[in-house]
Amino acid sequence: MSYEIKQQDKFKYIEEGNGEPLVLLHGLFGALSNFQNLIEYFRQYYKVIVPMLPLLEMDILHTSVGGLAKFVNRFLEARQLKDVHLLGNSLGGHVALVYVLKNPERVKSVILTGSSGLFENGMGDSYPKRGDYEYIKKKTELTFYDPKMATKELVDEVYSITNNRIKVIKISALAKSAIRNNLGEELNQIKQPALLIWGNNDTITPPFVAREFNRLIPGSELYFVDKCGHAPMMEVPDEFNAILHKFLKKLNEPATVT
């Protein structure tokens, strides 16, 4: 399924469906394919928006989690979006958290899956190894419980990024920024309803990270998915969509009077 990439000023994005805005933020090696099942399902009920995050296009001084959160702010302002449901995977979850902490008035709910912001296993000190296709293939497979999810197309995409010296510098800058930008002491400020959907077999942000997010974000809901790694919306899309849809529908139900 291919989507029209729209452009407004310098912002490129996908926008499908109608209703409340559901904004999706991808991770460091994220692509539109990561969210295809999610877009197809939720476009029936929501306005699903995927901004193209300029992970490798920002100048090096602004190549950081904070720089990306500012970009998201400018994008949402340009599109005049309010009361958004903000969903982020991996680094995208980290960006979502920084954004909601600085702009709580724009966010109706926050959804995290495999998010950084507390702890994550990077690709290792030697990463990225330029020119070593097998190494990149093995590291990409570690994202998933089922290594077959790391298709040749996906591996080729990661390989092309890691084979470019300037892009490697920016990836390293973002990874270091994510490690430095630990949100442990700030998460108790989040007042929005929060949903955590986590792979039980996530080796990058392991299950204990999800439990810590759950402990630190007041009133957050945590769901673990078995036989699933770092990208549940790709690996177990039906289960992911069912959990998310139930959460979003509950937000719009009138409060019961006791």
Could you please report the per-residue DSSP string of the chain?
-----EEETTEEEEEES-SSEEEEE--TT--GGGGHHHHHHHTTTSEEEEE---TTTS-GGG-SHHHHHHHHHHHHHHTT--SEEEEEETHHHHHHHHHHHH-GGGEEEEEEES--SS----S-TT---TT-HHHHHHHHHTTSSSGGGS-HHHHHHHHHHHTSHHHHHHHHHHHHHHHH---TTTGGG--S-EEEEEETT-SSS-HHHHHHHHHHSTT-EEEEESS--S-HHHHSHHHHHHHHHHHHHHHTSPPPP-
What local confidence, expressed as pLDDT, does residue 73 receive? 97
Report the C-alpha gap between 134 and 159 in whole angstroms. Answer: 10
Contact status, residue 160 vs residue 168, Cβ threshold 8 Å: no
What local confidence, expressed as pLDDT, does residue 125 receive? 44
Encode pLDDT of 67-118 as tens digits.
Answer: 999 999 999 999 999 999 999 999 999 999 999 999 999 999 999 999 999 9
Place of tokens 């590291």: 139
In the chain, what are the domains? Answer: 6-121+182-250 (3.40.50.1820)
pTM score: 0.92
Which segments in the chain show pLDDT lower than 70?
A: 1, 31, 122-131, 255-258
